[in-house]
Each structure stands twice: as structure tokens, then as C-alpha cells.
Amino acid sequence: MEKVKQKDLILYSGLIILGLAAPYLFSAFKVQLTYLCVLIVLAMTWNLQGGEMGYNTFGNILFYGLGMYLTASVQVGMFFPLAEWTESGGEKTFVHTTTQYFQGIGVGLLVAAIIPTIIAGAIGYAILGLRGHYFAICTLGLGIAAGEIAGGIEIIGAGQGFTTPPFPAEIVDAEARGKFFYFLSFALLVGTFVFVKYIYGSRFRLILNAIRDNEDKAEAMGIQTMKYKIVGWMCSAFFCGLAGGIMGGLIGYIDSTDVAFDGREMGVFMVLMAILGGKGTLWGPVIGATLFHFFKEGLWTLILGWQYVALGVLIVVIVVYFPEGLMGWLREKYPERFGEVIDEKDRKAQVELK
Amino acid sequence: MNKIAKLFVTFFSAITLALVSFSSSFAKVEGEYIVLGSAISLTGKYSSNGVHTQNGYNMAVDRINKMGGVEVQGKKYKFEIIYYDDESNPKRAAQLAERLIKQDGVHYMLGPYSSGLTKAIAPVTEKYKIPMVEANGASRSLFTKGYKYLFAVLSPANQYLEVAIDLAVEKNGGKGVKIAQAFEQDAFSQDVRLGILDAAKRTGSEIIIDDKLPKELNDMAATLAKVKAVKPDVLVVSGHTKGALTAIRQISEMKVDVPMLAMTHCDAAKLSKQHGKKSEYALCASQWHKNLSYKDKFFGSGKKYAKDFQKEFGYDPPYQSAESSAALLVFKDAFERANSFDRDAVRDALVDTEMQTFYGNIKFGPGGQNVAKPMILFQVRCKGDDCENRVVAPTKWASDKFYHPIPKWSERS
């Protein structure tokens, strides 16, 4: 047991060192690496619902978008009149000082974590009674509705979009912005991973699994399934909100349907990444997101105009050949490496029976 | 567990290796080529206009290269453009701008298509001090942010349809008119809306319908039903190519009678070809029309440009292509005046730009917008089944009289 833990320790410290060194090693790729961190966070949190709880949600994009708008609004609203900032024709230019910028984004991220969590609780209470496809379709509607509503709210820029505060000009180093957002997202990734890993070792995960495998039985055993479903969703919302807040600052421009409540891309990607890597596993979403991001960044520009066709093919390939994801496939192939013991006699007996 | 750990280590080191091998970036000026970068919408909702933009860029690159290229410090250089597909998505566009600058080493950028995407890219180019000449981001807010490296060859979006309201008021004997308007929820169309609001205030006109249309719009029947009920004097619609097509399709289907219909993007949507007589009398705002009498030595006149473009790409150039071609003429001019590849020298040269192109006069205001060129209005007119766009305002360029009011559908053949 001790030995295994030591191996883990080496692996994790290796990864963290790699993560910390990455922006210096691959300076030109900072933005892509930041995206990667955020994608992993989204895939891991989706996995809590889709993989562990068996509730395929398309609604996590709601929290991501909320986090984005909240961070930017707080960051501006703390120091300047928000309505004047977002009003497109505004002739005034507001400039954040360095302290204002960081104070703003700090408080903004805090709000971006808390409010989506509360909203997840409220919405969860209303709709987590739905099961299966009904829940999926309902959450799909949430994201779309949020995008349309945000596109009509003047104070956050409505259809004009919302330009987030530019990085303080007093910091002359052109690399500073990239580094700042990278480390922010990396910290979020580490936090999310630690949290999810903690859940994986807890009774909470078993309850989520029980809900997935047979909700009625779980309820009959005295588990208050509703409570756990809501708490599970609130956990995801917390991290999705933070991810959104970071992305908003990084992208610099928030559009209601294309950037914030971007169900068509981010909302689908997070599901796809989790399934690609293997849902219901700790490492699956991490590997899925990493592979997906590399596929996307590496190949998409080579097949200009055809990338969505390629993505469609990828989805088909995943679903047909790796229905359980890469981790599931590996597990089937090398069960002993996952600590599963196979009774050879039993297996032979079964083969003979056939 | 042990083997899995090994698997991960292998996996991550493979990625690390891949990243390192990708890191080789090349410079802004490579041999005899000046490398420009652009993220263009080849897929997604702006794909048709994205292609118009790309064709415009390519046409100008070919022409300039063929006619000797760009001369800097006595040496001739050729233009080359690296394109990426931004999928009509601002998030992707910002990321690609970063990629063009950081990984491909691009030092000069050409704009994407649409205001929203330009808004997403401008903070990136500004951060890295990369001069960007853009031809398709007209939103007024682009020019109030104090960007120093952004230059637009077009007139701001709020000017698009202001003239149309003035025209309607004039036809109404100087009295205010009743305006019905419907705009797509995107940066550009909402700016056109602001322009109308200003014009309405100025002329004492009243806005009786003010609808928002969803992105990727395919249906505006609800707005049109209201228009039928309240009978405004002017109907204003803006929503890029799809907006123009949808409006004409549904107005003709529902037989909506309105004395004046003002729109944007008629030529990009090839309205007169696609909808023929149904689109007759539609009034359209445009940055450019081939009949204008501007000239330059690369493309000659607008008419000649249109002919060459038709030959190359098989369709009449919409203004999106013309302004995109003009962006390269501006870059060429700036490089030659700067006589250097220093980004700041090129930027300073861009500030001092004052030139005439086939597309119009170009001189940049303090915010980076083109202040030397007016917007024009044309009206779709048909002879038999053959429809074309004729310039009706401003009077200096007008080839035809503005036809008002639009005859009722019951009277149209």
C-alpha cells in the first residue's frame, strides 16, 4: 500500500512541476495551455454528473457563462458605472489601475464561484426530479435560454457583447497577462482535481454511483437522493463558475451565445471529452480533454473548413469503438492493471459454456 | 497502479515532446515575403461573408505581388497571408490571434469578418502592439476604446442607415416618420440600431416597433405581423446576410406593404440575384459600389475591379470584398512610406495614411476609423426579370432617382 502511494506522489509532483514549468518551457503556447486547464476542469466537473451520477447534463454551461458575466461585471462595477462601460457608443474610456484590476478580478471570481453554486441549488431543486432524457433536454434548454436572455440585458452589453477590462497597461511585460491567466487556471485545475479525488475516496461518490445504478433502490435504502443530487450539481457549478470567470478575462470579449453560454461548443465539448477519456473515472476526463485539445489545436488548422466534419467522425469513432472511453477500453484490455482480479477458472468455464 | 503510472508518464512526455517540436516559429518577414495573419470565418454563421473577405484579400495579394510587390529599403517583397478559420466564434478568434502572433510569428494582422470578432481580436493585437488593418469591423465601440494599433478602412456602423431615415423624412415633407425596426443581436446590427436611434431623435421621428432578432435568424414573421398591423413609414432590418435574405423572403410571402424598406448586406446576400423581383425597391446601405468614380493604379476603377473579380471568383464583388482588398493597399502604402519593418514605424505610417483607392478615400481618424469616405445607399431596381443595385444617395454619386413609396404587393406584377 505504502509503495503505491509513493508512486502516486512521484506522479503528482511530476505533473505539478510540469504544470508550473509549462508556461516557461512552451512560452508561445500559454493560451492553449490555459484553455487545456479550463477544458479539463469542465470535463472533470461534468463527469461528476454525467459519469458518476448518471445524469447527462448539458446545463453546466449555464454556470460557466454566469461565472464569466459575473466576474467581468464585478470587476468593472466595483470601480466604474457598469452601464456606461457596456454602452457601446460610450465616448468615455475607463482604465483600471493595476490594483483595481487584480482586486476586481479577485472579488469577481469569488462572486463567480458563489452565485452559480446558489443558482445550481435552486435550479437543481426544481429540475433534478427529472430523469434520463427529460433531464438532459431540460438542461439543454437552460443553456440556450440563458444565452438568449443575456443577449437582451442592456447592462451587460446585450447583443453588443461585453469587453472585459484590459490587462493593466502599467505592466509592460507582454507575457505577464498570459502567465497570470495560465497560473490562475492551473490553480483551478489543481483545486478541482484535489476536490474530485477527495470525492472519489468518499462515501459521497458511492451514493452518486448508487443513484446512477438504481435510483429507486438507493432511495428505498434510505438515501435522500435529491439532497445528494443537488449537492453534486452545486459542486460542479462552483468550479464551472470559476472556469468561466477566468476564460472571460482571458478572451477579453464576452458574447452572450458564442462565448459565455456557448452550449454549441463548450457545452458539447465537455461531454465529449469526458466520454472520450472514459466517464466515471478520475483520469478519464483529464486524458479525454488533453487528447481532444491536441486533436483540435493540431489538426483543425490542417483541414480548414472541414474541422466539424472531422469532429463528427471523431464522435462516431468514439461511440462505436470506445463506448466506455479510453479508460474503459484500457480497463477491459488490461483489467489486472486496474487492480481487478480475474478468476481464470471462472473465465474458462464461461467460455466453455458458450 | 504502477503500470498505469508509467502509462501516464509516457503519455505526458509524448505531449511534451510534441509541444517542443511544434515551437519553431518563423518571422514576420521571411525571405522575400511579408507574412500577414488573419483569422477568417470559413465556417459558421458568417461563412459566406468570411469567404467574401478572404477573396478580397487574396485578390489584392495577387494583384500587388504581380505588379511588383512592396518596396522596402530598395528591396521588393511579396505579401503572403496565413489564414485560420475562426468558426464565426469570438472565443476562437481571440485564441487564433494569439496563435498567429505567438506561434506563427506574425507581426502584421488583417482583420476578421464582423464587428464581434474584431472586438475579440483587437485586445490581443493591442497587447502585443501588432498593427491590424481591418476591413469588416464597423462597430462604433471599436473606435472609442483608445486602440492604437487598429485601423479600419470602413465607415462606422452607426452611419449605415442614418441616411435612409433622413431620406424618409425628406419624402415625408420634413416631418418625422414612424419607424419599425428589427435588429439581430450582434455587435454590428446593434450599432446600426444606435445610429437609427440618433437619427430618429434628430428628425423627431417615432420608433413604433423595436425588435431584437436572434442570431442565425431564419424567421422574423412575428415582427412582420406587427408591421402589417401598425403600418409604419419605414421598416429597417439588419442582420448580416441571413437577415437580408430572411426579410425579403418573408416580406414577399406575407405580402407586407411598407412604403420604405431599408436594410444592410443586400449585396453580400446577392439579393437581386437570389430573390429577383421580390427584392425590388429595397434600400440598402453599402460601404462601396462599383459605379463610384474612385481610382487607383492597382485595380483601376471600381468597375474594372468588379470585372476582374467576376472573372476570378465568378460573382459580382460585394463591398465586403472591395474593402478587404483596400486593406492590403493600405498596408502596402504604409510599408513603403515607413520604409522599414519596425512595427511602430509601420503603425506611425498607418496613422498618416491619406490615399485614394478604387474603394474610396482612406484617412484614419483618432480612433482608427476611416473618416474620408461616406456611406452610400442603393436601391434594387428591376427591368423585366433582370435586377440590379442602383446608387440613389448621396446625390453626388447617384445614378438613379430614389423610388418612393414602394408600390403595394397587390399592384406589383
Contact call for A287 and B123, based on CB within 8 A = no
**Residues B275/B249, Cβ–Cβ less than 8 Å:** yes
Per-residue confidence (pLDDT) for residue A13, from 0 to 100 = 92
Per-residue confidence (pLDDT) for residue A94, from 0 to 100 = 77
Least confident of A288-302, A337-351, B29-43, B108-122: A337-351
The reply to whether A141 touches chain B by the CB within 8 Å rule is no
The whole-chain average pLDDT of chain B stands at 88
Question: What is the maximal distance between C-alpha atoms in chain A?
Answer: 82
| CB contact residues (below 8 A), chain B span 66-125, against chain A | 83-85, 87-91, 94-95, 98-99, 102-103, 116, 119-120, 123-124
Whether residue B2 has pLDDT greater than 80: no
**Residues A118/A238, Cβ–Cβ less than 8 Å:** no
Using pLDDT thresholds of 50, 70 and 90, give the confidence band for residue A4: low
| CB contact residues (below 8 A), chain B span 8-27, against chain A | 8-9, 11-12, 15-16, 18-20, 22-23, 25
Contact call for B144 and A91, based on CB within 8 A = yes
Over residues A91-114, mean pLDDT: 88
Using pLDDT thresholds of 50, 70 and 90, give the confidence band for residue A311: confident
Per-residue confidence (pLDDT) for residue A221, from 0 to 100 = 92
Contact call for A253 and B103, based on CB within 8 A = no
Of A7, A28, A337, the CB nearest to B102: A28
Structure confidence by residue, pLDDT tens digits, A15-44 = 999 999 999 988 888 889 999 999 999 999
Per-residue confidence (pLDDT) for residue B18, from 0 to 100 = 54
Residues of B in contact with A176 (CB under 8 A): none
Stretch (H or E) spanning B379: strand B376-383
Least confident of A2-6, A64-68, A339-343, B217-221: A2-6
Contact call for A294 and B15, based on CB within 8 A = yes
Per-residue confidence (pLDDT) for residue A8, from 0 to 100 = 84
Whether residue B149 has pLDDT greater than 90: yes
Structure confidence by residue, pLDDT tens digits, B154-167 = 998 888 898 899 88
Structure confidence by residue, pLDDT tens digits, B254-264 = 999 999 999 99
* Polymer length in residues for chain B: 413
Closest C-alpha among A286, A284, A352 to residue A324: A284
Q: A14 to chain B: nearest residue by CA? A: B9
Q: Which of B88, B141, B238 is best to mutate for the A interface (most A CBs within 10 A)?
A: B141
Whether residue B1 has pLDDT greater than 70: no
Residues of B in contact with A265 (CB under 8 A): 89, 91
Structure confidence by residue, pLDDT tens digits, A168-198 = 878 888 788 889 999 999 999 999 999 999 9
Over residues B258-287, mean pLDDT: 89
Over residues B92-119, mean pLDDT: 91
Contact call for A163 and B145, based on CB within 8 A = yes
Residues of A in contact with B214 (CB under 8 A): 148, 151
Burial readout B5-39 (b: 16 or more C-beta within 10 A, e: otherwise): beebeeebeebeeebeeeeeeeebbeeebbbbbbb
Using pLDDT thresholds of 50, 70 and 90, give the confidence band for residue B16: low
Closest C-alpha among B161, B120, B162 to residue B137: B120
Give the cell for residue B186: 450582434
Contact call for A89 and B103, based on CB within 8 A = no
Whether residue A207 has pLDDT greater than 60: yes
Structure confidence by residue, pLDDT tens digits, B172-191 = 888 999 999 999 988 888 88
Contact call for A32 and B215, based on CB within 8 A = no
Whether residue B36 has pLDDT greater than 90: yes
| CB contact residues (below 8 A), chain B span 330-389, against chain A | none
Whether residue A353 has pLDDT greater than 80: no
Whether residue B8 has pLDDT greater than 70: no
Whether residue B21 has pLDDT greater than 50: no
pLDDT > 90 fraction of chain B, expressed in percent and rounded: 53
Question: What is the maximal distance between C-alpha atoms in chain B?
Answer: 87
The reply to whether A159 touches chain B by the CB within 8 Å rule is yes
Query: Please, which residues have CB within 8 angstroms of residue A165's CB and are 6 or more apart in sequence?
Result: A72, A75, A76, A94, A96, A101, A104
Least confident of A84-88, A255-259, B295-299: A84-88
Domains and CATH numbers, chain B: 29-155+292-363 (3.40.50.2300), 159-286+375-411 (3.40.50.2300)
**Residues A61/A266, Cβ–Cβ less than 8 Å:** yes
Contact call for B2 and A300, based on CB within 8 A = no
pLDDT > 70 fraction of chain A, expressed in percent and rounded: 95
Give the cell for residue A350: 464461461
Contact call for A337 and B144, based on CB within 8 A = no
pLDDT > 70 fraction of chain B, expressed in percent and rounded: 93
| Least Cα separation, residue B171 to chain A (angstroms) | 29
Q: What backbone phi and psi angles, to 5 degrees, belong to B273?
A: -85, -45
Q: A330 to chain B: nearest residue by CA? A: B4
Per-residue confidence (pLDDT) for residue A257, from 0 to 100 = 87
Over residues B206-218, mean pLDDT: 87
Over residues A309-334, mean pLDDT: 84
| Least Cα separation, residue A32 to chain B (angstroms) | 8
Other beta carbons within 10 angstroms of residue B185's beta carbon come to: 24
Q: What is the dihedral of CA B176, B182, B184, B186, to 10 degrees?
A: 30
Q: Which amino acid is at A211?
A: I
Least confident of A84-98, A109-123, B207-221: A84-98
Is the peptide bond between B405 and the residue preceding it cis, with omega within 30 degrees of 0?
Answer: yes
Per-residue confidence (pLDDT) for residue B67, from 0 to 100 = 93
The reply to whether A117 touches chain B by the CB within 8 Å rule is no
Per-residue confidence (pLDDT) for residue B7, from 0 to 100 = 59
Per-residue confidence (pLDDT) for residue B23, from 0 to 100 = 43
Contact call for A28 and B185, based on CB within 8 A = no
**Cα–Cα distance measured from residue A272 to residue A258, given in angstroms and rounded to the nearest whole number:** 18
Whether residue B413 has pLDDT greater than 70: no
The reply to whether B401 touches chain A by the CB within 8 Å rule is no
Tell how far CA B229 is from the center of its chain: 34
Per-residue confidence (pLDDT) for residue B26, from 0 to 100 = 46
Give the cell for residue B117: 470578432
Using pLDDT thresholds of 50, 70 and 90, give the confidence band for residue A88: low
Per-residue confidence (pLDDT) for residue A296, from 0 to 100 = 84
**Cα–Cα distance measured from residue A275 to residue B412, given in angstroms and rounded to the nearest whole number:** 58
> What is the β-pairing status of strands B206-213 and B33-40?
unpaired
Using pLDDT thresholds of 50, 70 and 90, give the confidence band for residue B305: very high
Contact call for B194 and A88, based on CB within 8 A = yes
Over residues A197-207, mean pLDDT: 93
Of A26, A90, A259, the CB nearest to B144: A90
Per-residue confidence (pLDDT) for residue B24, from 0 to 100 = 41
**Cα–Cα distance measured from residue A308 to residue A304, given in angstroms and rounded to the nearest whole number:** 10
Q: Which residues pair with B206 in a beta bridge?
A: B178
Per-residue confidence (pLDDT) for residue B15, from 0 to 100 = 56
Per-residue confidence (pLDDT) for residue A159, from 0 to 100 = 77
Residues of A in contact with B7 (CB under 8 A): 330
Give the SS3 label for residue A334.
coil
DSSP strands (E only) in B12-116: 29-30, 33-40, 70-72, 75-85, 108-110
Q: What is the DSSP string of B296-363?
A: ETTTEEHHHHHHHHHHHHSSPPPHHHHHHHHHHHHHHHHHHHHTS--HHHHHHHHHT-EEEETTEEEE
| CB contact residues (below 8 A), chain B span 142-181, against chain A | 144-146, 158
Residues of A in contact with B12 (CB under 8 A): 14-15, 18
Over residues B90-100, mean pLDDT: 91
Contact call for A159 and B187, based on CB within 8 A = yes
| Least Cα separation, residue B48 to chain A (angstroms) | 12
The segment with the largest mean pLDDT, out of A5-9, A40-44, A156-160, B23-27, is A40-44
Structure confidence by residue, pLDDT tens digits, A130-183 = 988 899 999 999 999 999 899 888 888 877 788 888 888 788 887 888 899 999
Using pLDDT thresholds of 50, 70 and 90, give the confidence band for residue B9: low
Structure confidence by residue, pLDDT tens digits, A50-82 = 999 999 999 999 999 999 999 999 999 999 888
The reply to whether A200 touches chain B by the CB within 8 Å rule is no
The reply to whether B5 touches chain A by the CB within 8 Å rule is yes
